[in-house]
A and B are shown apart, each in its own frame.
Chain A
Amino acid sequence: MVDFGYGSVKTNNFDLDTAKTELASYLAANDATFNLCIACGACAATCTASKFTNFSFRNLTNQIRRGEEESSKKEAAKCMLCGKCTLVCPRNVNTRNIILLIRETVQTIHR
Chain B
Amino acid sequence: MYPEQGPVWDWIRDNAEQILPKVGANYKGDGPGAMRKIPQEDIDELHRIFEVSGGLDWFNKIEDFSAQKAKEMGLDIGTGKDSEYFKEVYNTNNQEKHSKQ
Contacts and interface: CB of A to CB of B under 8 A. Distances in A.
A and B touch in the complex (CB under 8 A): yes
Interface of A: 2, 4-7, 9-10
B4 A4 contact: yes
B3 A9 contact: no
Interface in B29-66: none
B101 A6 contact: no
A9 to B, nearest CB: 6
Q: Give the secondary structure class of A's interface.
A: loop
B101 A9 contact: yes
Contacts of A9: 98-99, 101
Contact of B95 (A2, A6, A10): A6
B15 interface: no
A4 B3 contact: yes
Q: Give the secondary structure class of B's interface.
A: helix
Contacts of A4: 3-4
Across the A-B interface, the 10 shortest Cβ-Cβ residue pairs: A6-B99, A4-B3, A9-B101, A4-B4, A10-B101, A7-B99, A7-B100, A5-B91, A9-B99, A9-B98
A4 B98 CA distance: 14
A5 B101 contact: no
Most buried by B among A2, A4, A6, A10: A6
12 contacts: A4-B3, A4-B4, A5-B3, A5-B91, A6-B99, A6-B100, A7-B99, A7-B100, A9-B98, A9-B99, A9-B101, A10-B101
Given A2-B3, A4-B3, A7-B101, 5 more contacts: A4-B4, A6-B95, A6-B98, A6-B100, A7-B99
Contacts of B3: 2, 4-5
A75 B3 CA distance: 42
Nearest to A2: B3
Interface string B1-13: 0011000000000
A60 B100 CA distance: 27
Nearest to A4: B3
